[in-house]
Amino acid sequence: MLQIKNLHASVEDKDILKGINLEIKAGEVHAIMGPNGAGKSTLSSIIAGNENYEVTEGEIFLDGEEISELAPEERAHKGVFLSFQYPVEIPGVSVTNFIKTAINEKRKANGEEEMPANEMLKKIREKSELLEMDRKFLSRSLNEGFSGGEKKRNEIFQMAMLEPKIAILDETDSGLDIDALRIVANGVNKLKNENNAVLVITHYQRLLDYIVPDFVHVLMDGKIVKTGGADLALELEEKGYDWIKQEQTA
Catalog residues that contact ligand ADP under the rule CB under 6 A. 11-12, 16, 34, 36-42, 52
Among 41, 83, 85, 96, binds Mg ion (CB under 5 A): 41
36 sits near Mg ion (criterion: CB under 5 A): yes
Q: Which does 39 bind (CB under 5 to 8 A by kind): ligand ADP, Mg ion, none?
A: ligand ADP
Task: Calculate the alpha carbon distances from 153 to 129, 148, 215 in Å.
Answer: 12, 9, 25
83 sits near Mg ion (criterion: CB under 5 A): no
Spatial separation of the C-alpha atoms in residues 198 and 83, rounded to whole Å? 11
Q: Which does 79 bind (CB under 5 to 8 A by kind): ligand ADP, Mg ion, none?
A: none
Helices 117-130, 95-109: inter-axial angle, 10-degree rounding: 120
DSSP H stretches of helix in 72-204: 72-78, 95-109, 117-130, 135-138, 148-162, 178-191
Q: Which does 249 bind (CB under 5 to 8 A by kind): ligand ADP, Mg ion, none?
A: none
Spatial separation of the C-alpha atoms in residues 95 and 197, rounded to whole Å? 25
Span interacting with Mg ion, options 33-41, 55-63, 92-100, 179-187, rule CB under 5 A: 33-41
CB-nearer residue toward Mg ion: 123 or 203: 203
Q: Which does 213 bind (CB under 5 to 8 A by kind): Mg ion, ligand ADP, none?
A: none
Spatial separation of the C-alpha atoms in residues 33 and 189, rounded to whole Å? 19
Residue among 67, 54, 57, 61 at smallest CA distance from 23: 61
Spatial separation of the C-alpha atoms in residues 215 and 194, rounded to whole Å? 16
CB-nearer residue toward ligand ADP: 131 or 168: 168
CB-nearer residue toward ligand ADP: 140 or 203: 203
Total residues contacting Mg ion by CB under 5 A comes to 4
The contact set with Mg ion (CB under 5 A) reads 36, 40-41, 173
